[in-house]
Amino acid sequence: MRYKAIIFDLDGVICHTDKYHYMAWRQIADELGIYFDQEINHRLRGVSRMESFEIILEQYDGVMNEEKKLQYTAKKNEVYKELLKGMSPEDLAGEVKDTLHFLREKGLKLAIGSSSKNAKFILSRLGLGDYFDAVSDGNNITRSKPDPEVFVKAAQFLGECAGDCLVVEDARAGLIAAAAGGMECAAVGDAVSCGLATWNLASFSDLKQIV
């Protein structure tokens, strides 16, 4: 096999939670009288919660102290988690489920590498709570993508060298992070147009052809 392990970003790769992020951030933005739309929301993909809020605050007419920022980001997360309760195993695409089983049967180790602090909760809602061999997420890192820390730690958790791991990403920041961590990467969705990936996938199941 070409790789020993595959590390997946979560949002936009295994599942799609963009709409829930958007709804939660929109509620916070409306409360603060800040203009917020899908274009701004798109800039938040792959970055941490606090960094996302800083982007939203670019439209804020005033200065907010750190304590207030923490209050609003915590509130956003509570709104987001409440929305996530509506997720279920039915939100896991059949193509994703079948491909994961194929990779597992080939003997590959599978991990999550996500900046989200809610990764394990989302996985549990999808029925994948104990499916992955390792989960590296926002709870065990200090630097978000494009820093490679989340992927480097995922490889460490798996006990594999970076060069033996393939990262699957849907965001430019994630592709940069994978390369910085010494890993090859496969792009899905919008990330395909970046031209930064080792592999460009037309669909998630294309992973079967490259491992």
> In the structure encoding, which two tokens stand for residue 208, read together?
């079967």
- Separation CA 74–CA 50 (nearest Å): 10
Residues 11, 61, 137, 170: which is the catalytic one? Answer: 11
Residues 131 and 124: their CA atoms lie apart, in Å, by 9
Residue type at 36 in one-letter notation: F
Strands of the sheet with 199-200, listed across from one edge: 134-136, 109-113, 5-8, 165-169, 184-187, 199-200
Q: How far apart are CA 121 and CA 128, in angstroms?
A: 10
Euclidean distance between CA atoms 163 and 172, whole angstroms: 20
Per the annotation, the verdict on 9 as an active-site residue is yes
Q: Which listed residue (9, 61, 164, 170) is catalytic?
A: 9
Among positive and negative, which fits the CA dihedral 102, 104, 108, 114?
positive
Catalytic residue check, 11? yes
Rounded Cα distance between 160 and 6, Å, is 10
Task: Give start and end residues of each alpha helix (H) in 106-158.
Answer: 119-125, 149-158
Q: Which residues belong to the active site?
A: 9, 11
